[in-house]
Structure 1
Amino acid sequence: MVENRPWLTVLAHAVLIVGLVVIAFPVWITFVASTHDSATMLRPPVPLLPGGHMFENYAKVLSEGFAQASRTPLWRVLANSLIMALGVSLGKIAISLIAAYAIVYFRFPLRMTAFWMIFITLMLPIEVRIVPTYDVVANFGMLNSYSGLIVPLIASATATFLFRQFFLSVPDELTEAARVDGAGPTRFFVDILLPMSRTSIAALFVIQFIYGWNQYLWPLLVTTEESFYTVIMTLTRQANVVDGVPQWNLIMTVGMLAMLPPVLVVVLMQRQFVRGLVETEK
């Protein structure tokens, strides 16, 4: 039996409040900075209350871009990041589902060898693979394109392993019943396995969407045209201007807008995300 001690309840709430303040304070400062003009942000102290330039700053970056670093409107940059994040997340899920299905339900030579070769790629950091991957992408003429941003990142050993483990937990009786009812491999996969995997798919989608949205190194290598820049690249270029003063109010404006899509994905899919991580009975 858990004892009811009021001072423990107060302490727990105090710790939670402190943690909330520590996490939320940088976000608040970012929002406040996005509502001031450039001159205010260049002189101390940093303001803690919102200013009166919010709509001006947001309208400027969304429609005009930046005179110092980029003239590409932010809506185009956000669209590039959204296309990349959706392409990476959906591609990873699709390929991992098919690979795991083939490994579990089909018998072919070197089946387990193929699985372990996929799994071993987890030991290779992206820095090891990035030079040969770039060479392949360049030889195929995929630089400065959405395919070059997405295709090299859609293979996922982690997602393949997770789906394989889930498929192994599906009762053999269900497979036999589907076979008796005349369901072929495609119908069994589409009508039975996919609906059963929806919580796992939702959890992986959230994780992989954020992974694709936050990509910086790979887009930096394969894109040289501003029309294909992502929002993370744009943020970095704005902060590292040469022979000029960074427009911190606009940088913080972009930062606030860059946070919105991942936050919306997490909020809208929170229930499915949690169930996909903790649910044990499928």
Structure 2
Amino acid sequence: MHRVKLSDHIVLLLGSLFMIGPVAIAFLTSTHDAVEIHREGLQATWGGHFLDTYTDVLVKKGGFTGQVTGLRMVMNSMILGVGFAVGKIVLSMLAAYAIVYFRFRMGTFFFWVIFTTLLLPLEVRIVPSYEVVQKLGLLNSYTGLIVPLLASATGTFYFRQFYKSVPDELLEAARIDGAGPFKFFVDILLPVSRTMIAAMFIIMFVYGWNQYLWPMMMTTEEGYFTLVRGIKQILLVWVGSQIPDYNQAFALAILAMLPPVVVVVVFQRWFIKGLTESDK
């Protein structure tokens, strides 16, 4: 018995080291000078340039226009991640609420139409989506970045399954108390959906935060660049004998990891509970 527990812990420890190792190497490498990284490669020791590197990354103006900062890119990524998460959750909850509780004709058909959009990932429909955004004049705007991708088949599916598991007695009690559709949604469904909302927030926030292709297509002004795109821009400065700022690129990569990690850690219990809980 003790051998089994020891072996389980060893496997978990090795798995953790395997996952954390590259992150630790990236962080340690970011504390070295760019020339040293270019000459010697990845580093597994402390370089002593932590404060200088991360200060430059966050507050020093740079880019092709010399105006964008790391803090600006962090803000853009945060706006994109939170906008995606909140918008997708609101639309998914409303769509699932209509499908489950209004029970209109062809409601199931419309749900499966929404669900089949999972077969059309962003990469497949990015050209027509770009054309629509461009004709609406929404390029280089937060509206153009967020609104076109708010519809979520995944969120609608999960909230639909969640609402179908809510006891009918709650609906009957609400009707007896004279609650209308809006009051039932706000006063009853929203409170019991907190764990599902938390689970969906994690998924959608990470999805929005890690977007690269869509922001690259929708933005040409550096003021709207996200962290993920900012890393790529740093590595594109190799001109002649100029050495890319590898240390800053690694620093941006570390900064790009932190918010999703914090969100997952904070909402971890609710995330697991929201995806596994069935008894309401």
TM-score (norm. length: structure 2): 0.95
- Distance between the aligned counterparts of 1:67 and 1:103, measured in 2? 48
Greater shift, 119-128 or 220-229, is seen at 119-128
- Aligned pairs (5 A) from 1:2-151: 4=1, 6-44=2-40, 46-66=42-62, 71-151=67-147
- Identical-residue share of aligned pairs (%): 51
How much does 1:43 deviate? 2.0
Aligned to 1:269: 267
C-alpha contact 1:69 1:241 (8 A) present in aligned 2: no
How much does 1:137 deviate? 0.6
Q: C-alpha root-mean-square deviation of aligned residues, in Å? A: 1.6
Aligned to 2:179: 183
Aligned to 1:236: 232
C-alpha contact 2:57 2:70 (8 A) present in aligned 1: yes
Aligned length: 278
- Identify the match of residue 278 of structure 1 among 260, 276, 279: 276
C-alpha contact 1:69 1:237 (8 A) present in aligned 2: no
- Identify the match of residue 224 of structure 1 among 213, 220, 227: 220
Amino acid at match of 1:190: V
Amino acid at match of 1:74: G
Q: Does 1:248 align with 2:246?
A: yes
- Identify the match of residue 215 of structure 1 among 208, 211, 214: 211
Greater shift, 209-218 or 22-31, is seen at 22-31
CA offset digits 1:142-168 (Å, max 9, x no partner):
000000110011110111011111111
- Distance between the aligned counterparts of 2:235 and 2:116, measured in 1? 38
C-alpha contact 1:31 1:50 (8 A) present in aligned 2: no
- Distance between the aligned counterparts of 1:140 and 1:186, measured in 2? 32
How much does 1:112 deviate? 2.2
C-alpha contact 2:63 2:222 (8 A) present in aligned 1: no
CA offset digits 1:225-264 (Å, max 9, x no partner):
0000011011112123341322111111111111111111
Amino acid at match of 2:9: H
- Distance between the aligned counterparts of 1:270 and 1:116, measured in 2? 30
CA offset digits 1:194-223 (Å, max 9, x no partner):
111110010000011000000000000010
Greater shift, 233-242 or 264-273, is seen at 233-242
* Unmatched tracts of structure 1, length 5 or more: none
- Identify the match of residue 258 of structure 2 among 257, 260, 265: 260
SS of the residue 1:43 aligns to: helix
How much does 1:10 deviate? 2.5
How much does 1:70 deviate? 6.2
- Distance between the aligned counterparts of 2:76 and 2:140, measured in 1? 11
- Distance between the aligned counterparts of 1:106 and 1:187, measured in 2? 14
* Unmatched tracts of structure 2, length 5 or more: none
CA 1:266–1:193 in structure 2 vs 1: closer, same or farther (change >3 Å)? same
- Distance between the aligned counterparts of 1:238 and 1:67, measured in 2? 8
